[in-house]
Chain A
Amino acid sequence: MLKKLKPGDALFQGIIYVLFGVFTLSCIYPFYYLFINTISSNDLSAAGDIKFYPQQIHFDNYSKVLRISGLSHAALVSVYRTLAGTFLTVGASAFLGYLFTKKEMWGRQIWYRSVVVTMYFSAGLIPWYITMHNLHLTNNYLAYILPTIITPFNIILVKTFVEAVPPSLEESAAMDGAGVLRSFWSIIVPLTTPILATITIFSAVNQWNSFIDTAFLMTDTKYYTLQFLLWRYLNESSSLAALIRSSPDMAASVQNMQTPTSVRMTVTMIVVLPILIVYPFFQRFFVKGIMIGAVKG
């Protein structure tokens, strides 16, 4: 039950409701706009007639774009790096973050600081590229996975979280003969699930969204990711035209002729959909995780 509002308060409430409404709409409408355009008649879409609701719904764009050679392979690369990269990053963040809570570790402060400071400090693009090249990580899947293992921000999150776990739990486990590994696996991991779920979604999204590493390190098309292909389609109209031509049974369908715009929009939608689908399920986890971290820290 709400208290009765004074007129000034009611006006204030009204204004912030509208402000937030407009901003929320602006966050969502682009996705919606793209979606209704990809499932509407391409002619109407090209004329700019699709603004609020889809017309003459069809899914040709998706079925055709998905058949473009290279796209499904790029999707596999993206899925692969997301799964493998996330698994390793979460494991490493959890374990190293936990180890850094152990005051008795030799040189703990120095190691911890030397990891954290890398958030601010980088050798620069060329030295980094040359190092990756010397390590034979150009045109190599491992280049997607290995460098993300240590993500300082994640390690800070885990460390802060573990420090809030009552030390008596671990002490009693140690009395029962549990070593560091055992107490990490049986006590710390179950207790830190909220923060681990947070890190999981962060690193999965990061992996899915990465494209700059492909631009720098990969010249062989078999390492291209979805994001990278999207970027190329956005910038190179020639590659897009070639792509439409190479698409099978293109000439056969006179209706719903794919345009460069429709291909672009459809690829964008294919890249964004996994995030939009997964997001609602994980949203409560990471909000909770980051909130707990923030209140404690």
Chain B
Amino acid sequence: MGVPSGELLRGVEPVRPSRWKLQNKYKLFLLALPFLAVTFVFYYLPVSGWIYAFYDFIPGIPLSDTPYVGLKWFRTLVANPTQTGEVLRVLKNTVAMSSLGLVTSVFPVIFAILLTEIRAGWYRKFVQTLTTIPNFISWILVYALAFSLFSVDNGVVNHFLVQLGIVNEEFNFLASSSHVWLTMIAWYWWKSLGWGAILYLAAIAGIDQELYEAAEVDGASRFRKIWHITVPGIIPTFFVLLLLSIGNFVNNGMEQYFAFQNAMNKDAIEVLDLYVYNIAFANNFPFATAVSMLKSVVSVILLFAANTLSKVVRDESII
């Protein structure tokens, strides 16, 4: 082997042969290709199914044998007052729960700030460890726990409330539509508060300790330190997460609502995702497709709006 010409330049500047780069340009792409293909098949290919929204599709009958109906299913959204009422009810639930989620997204911030104020390290660790557990439990399990604790016949909560004389008769927490929005957001935070705080705890840990020492010297109180050092230190993280959740405003997901829904609370718990599921199971495939199509369009618009907002406010794009 002769001495490569690059050998002479070693130590003068980093050697990075351009030939290696060129070869790699397509090789790297080919290596990624199988994974991109999987992405295409499971995320992009289903979009072709939007075509079903324009047909009177019935499961089991091939599309070629079903009549093309144009925008019929989109028109039913506005043409039929009962149908419009249904959609408005579902939209109201969706907007209400998403808004509650956005407003209460300061909870993990408060949790993290207060937790760092705790002096005993072991207690901090204890709280942090145990409060993240619910995050790893499925919504079905959360519902199972709720069922055991709050059910009418032998739930421990009702027993206590009756024994303490707070209520006269057992209250059916799970089958009432009067407080569903609040109980749903409560369960949501029960499950995710501890976990959500971890990111903010990381952000707080990243704040320069000298800032606190300097403030201490200047005689700043505990609350002034929080307000002038900790809060500005974690606001960037908060903004990123807030903007990300704006993009998901109409995607509440459905696992939680699916698990908790029953005949009694259905009116208030049905969000868009769950509604699509319920009408699909009533075998109205084209209408369900039309609704989820509109939902996706709104999502993407919101995502790009949030992205633009992020560029303006923070000079940084999120996608």
Using a CB–CB cutoff of 8 Å, the interface residues on chain A facing chain B are 2, 9, 12-13, 16-17, 19-21, 23-24, 26-28, 30-31, 33-34, 37, 45-48, 51, 92, 95-96, 99-100, 102, 104-108, 111, 113-118, 120-131, 135, 146-147, 149-150, 168, 171, 174-175, 180-181, 205, 208-212, 227, 230-231, 234, 261, 264-265, 268, 271-272, 275-276, 279-280, 283, 287, 290-291, 294-295
Is B206 an interface residue when CB atoms closer than 8 A count as contact? yes
Is B235 an interface residue when CB atoms closer than 8 A count as contact? no
Contacts of A272 in B (CB 8 A): 137, 141
Quick check: A120 and B300 within 8 Å, CB to CB?
yes
Of B143, B194, B295, the residue contacting A234 (CB under 8 A) is B143
Q: How far is the CA of A48 from the CA of B129 in the complex (A)?
A: 30
Contacts of A150 in B (CB 8 A): 35, 38-39, 42-43
Of A20, A126, A129, A264, the residue contacting B148 (CB under 8 A) is A264
Contacts of A2 in B (CB 8 A): 119
Quick check: A124 and B296 within 8 Å, CB to CB?
yes
Quick check: A106 and B26 within 8 Å, CB to CB?
yes
Q: How far is the CA of A126 from the CA of B154 in the complex (A)?
A: 39
Quick check: B205 and A106 within 8 Å, CB to CB?
no
Using a CB–CB cutoff of 8 Å, the interface residues on chain B facing chain A are 14-16, 20-21, 24-29, 31-32, 35-36, 38-39, 41-50, 52, 114-115, 117-119, 123, 126-134, 136-138, 140-141, 143-145, 147-149, 153-156, 159, 190, 193-194, 198-199, 201-203, 205-206, 222, 237, 247-248, 251, 254-255, 258-259, 273, 276-277, 280, 285, 288-289, 291-293, 295-296, 299-300, 303, 319
Contacts of B35 in A (CB 8 A): 92, 95-96, 149-150
Quick check: A264 and B49 within 8 Å, CB to CB?
no
Nearest-neighbor residue (CB-CB) of A28 within chain B: B130
Of B27, B156, B206, B296, the residue contacting A123 (CB under 8 A) is B296
Q: How far is the CA of A181 from the CA of B31 in the complex (A)?
A: 9
A131 and B20 in contact, given A120-B247, A120-B299 (Cβ under 8 angstroms)? no
Contacts of A33 in B (CB 8 A): 148-149, 156
Quick check: A113 and B319 within 8 Å, CB to CB?
yes
Quick check: A287 and B288 within 8 Å, CB to CB?
no
Q: How far is the CB of B63 from chain A (nearest CB, A)?
A: 10
Quick check: A212 and B52 within 8 Å, CB to CB?
no
Q: How far is the CB of A43 from chain B (nearest CB, A)?
A: 12
Quick check: A31 and B159 within 8 Å, CB to CB?
no
Quick check: B156 and A48 within 8 Å, CB to CB?
yes
Contacts of A276 in B (CB 8 A): 133
Quick check: A16 and B299 within 8 Å, CB to CB?
no
Contacts of A28 in B (CB 8 A): 130, 133
Selected A-B contacts with CB under 8 Å, 10 pairs: A16-B117, A48-B156, A106-B29, A114-B44, A120-B319, A124-B46, A130-B52, A180-B28, A272-B141, A287-B132
Quick check: B292 and A127 within 8 Å, CB to CB?
yes
Q: How far is the CB of A2 from chain B (nearest CB, A)?
A: 6
Quick check: A20 and B127 within 8 Å, CB to CB?
yes
Quick check: B27 and A17 within 8 Å, CB to CB?
no
Of A51, A100, A125, the residue contacting B156 (CB under 8 A) is A51
Quick check: A105 and B28 within 8 Å, CB to CB?
yes
Quick check: B46 and A123 within 8 Å, CB to CB?
yes
Quick check: B114 and A16 within 8 Å, CB to CB?
yes
Of A34, A107, A121, the residue contacting B300 (CB under 8 A) is A121
Quick check: A120 and B248 within 8 Å, CB to CB?
yes
Q: How far is the CB of A171 from chain B (nearest CB, A)?
A: 7
Nearest-neighbor residue (CB-CB) of B297 within chain A: A121
Quick check: A234 and B133 within 8 Å, CB to CB?
no
A294 and B237 in contact, given A117-B319, A212-B258 (Cβ under 8 angstroms)? yes
Q: How far is the CA of A12 from the CA of B226 in the complex (A)?
A: 14
Quick check: B199 and A290 within 8 Å, CB to CB?
yes
Of B46, B154, B222, B291, the residue contacting A261 (CB under 8 A) is B154
